[in-house]
Structure 1
């Protein structure tokens, strides 16, 4: 079977070694934290999932900041064992939603939070498959909630009930401390007023504007993930910073200002990619 993806950042921390270094500037206050109860609950839940689907010999990587497993394995998850006849698309959808709800505390999403936006059938080397695409509208739950749309779950299930692909960018509830913030909302806005930004994508469609107060729609406290390089052009020196930031939404774009240092964060990973 092809890779199954179960909730791990591509900049994850391995159980055994760092794949990409995660750090913040010297003296920067802590950004994310979990209680011992939450950590113990995650460990018990993961052990239960692991035992049920027999992944004991598979190397599992864990993002220890977000408490999410990243499962890349050649084993299939047979969620309908001993099935002899093919199932309908309607039945497959019901099976997937039940599977999500059974492990909702591991997947960080329940079926009631998902909206089905696309579905269909496809054929490849694995046989006949159903695919489903869902959206979750509020993937982050911070001290000040971020209202931006986001959070997706993509699933491929064979007509014999074998899960071939599971991909999600829904993250768990984060404890976000605002006690160390030194830049308020108005100061953050002043920092980006007059900044020139480009948006659009294709060269013929790219537009440039200088940000004015009238362009600002909303401002929210959020978590910003920023890529850095110790040495430009050397991917091996890449690392990630978790920054407390003001997300300033414009008519056409979002910009971010570090709520601790006041730094204009030019490029931010606005969603966690799993």
Structure 2
């Protein structure tokens, strides 16, 4: 059964979805005796007993990447995939927009080249300095957003067209001003509810408070996970790492949202 594009929780009105979930939970939990939490699939109500069963399932199972599920009694894409299989949640492998596909190709080439700061932990280096200058700021600053701008700009030059991305080296300034360039924004909560709305080529934005943020590209989507290409990071997924990396993140870890320049 396909994920319905929203988080399923107490009060769910679609009896067909509730029935499918109760049937799957009964099969997965197989509780007996005093532990019994058997759910009636013919009862269309998602009530407290069903929430308890979902929480128990989440406590006893991992997601399809082997990570713990959030024990909240709500069925989002990761819990749905654990119950019904990964094929039941959104999967987007390639950018549909040709220009965004070329932007990802530029970003991927930088990751494949193993771009790193020189020296380490300096926010400097030949490539890093070039990213920052292209975004209009001096070398030595945090450079994740400058990297995204450089990738857009390189792809635009190759295509002989204007760069659609708002010119900035600031993640939160990009979030604020992207609509002025025709881009669409998707709030984090809406992306978590429906991962199918997050498309390859989108730019994710994280907000750490105090004006600090982090950003990068979505390369592909697998349900509740995104595969990314990011600058100024490393395997720890931090915002002050020393290179361009391909990473995997939980979709729910993106707390601000996504910017999509598709069709712009």
What TM-score do the two structures reach when normalised by structure 2?
Answer: 0.27
Which structure has more helix as a fraction of its residues?
Answer: 2
What TM-score do the two structures reach when normalised by structure 1?
Answer: 0.26
Which structure has more strand as a fraction of its residues?
Answer: 1
